[in-house]
Amino acid sequence: MILTDIKNTLTLIAGAKPATITASRNGSAIDIRGYLGSIMAVLYAAKGTGNADNTLDTKIQTSADGSTGWADVTGATFTQVLGTGGTDSLQGINVEVRLCERYIRFVDTVAGTSPSYVLSQHVIGQKATT
């Protein structure tokens, strides 16, 4: 039997601590240097308030220096979260580290009439040990 110490194997990074957003935004740069294989990008968003036509779209972008040249990561787009007619959403997508530059960020696009979403975003991955 092989035992694994999960606490010392996986790392959790907050991309965005729980907060209410009412407008589109770009998240902070997250340094993924040293991570192995795939990382899990996690989005939790409570269903929106305001009108039923409100939407939240979230994707992952990558950059070599964490400040310029941001580009979308292929396949790293979360399912759209709806307004008052929707439900709470907990989603995870795998992001292959080798297909990214050194930094990633969450990008949120909010649309509709008086939209408001409570969300948090995290990255979970395994760092190489030295």
Q: Is residue 85 one of the residues assigned to a domain?
A: yes
In this structure, the number of other CB atoms found within 10 A of the CB of residue 75 comes to 12
Give the count of domains, the chain.
1
Q: Is residue 73 one of the residues assigned to a domain?
A: yes
Q: Is residue 3 one of the residues assigned to a domain?
A: no
Under DSSP, is residue 11 helix (H, G, I), strand (E, B) or coil? strand
What domain range includes position 57? 11-126
Q: Is residue 34 one of the residues assigned to a domain?
A: yes
User: pLDDT (tens digit, 0 to 9) for every residue of the chain, 130 residues total?
Assistant: 444 555 567 888 888 888 899 999 999 999 999 998 999 999 999 888 878 889 999 999 999 999 999 999 999 999 999 887 778 899 999 999 999 999 999 999 999 988 999 999 999 999 877 5
Q: Is residue 1 one of the residues assigned to a domain?
A: no
Q: Is residue 2 one of the residues assigned to a domain?
A: no
Q: Is residue 5 one of the residues assigned to a domain?
A: no
- Name the pTM for this structure: 0.88
In this structure, the number of other CB atoms found within 10 A of the CB of residue 70 comes to 18
What is the pLDDT at residue 6?
A: 54
What CATH number did the domain enclosing 70 receive? Answer: 2.60.120.1110
What is the pLDDT at residue 95?
A: 96
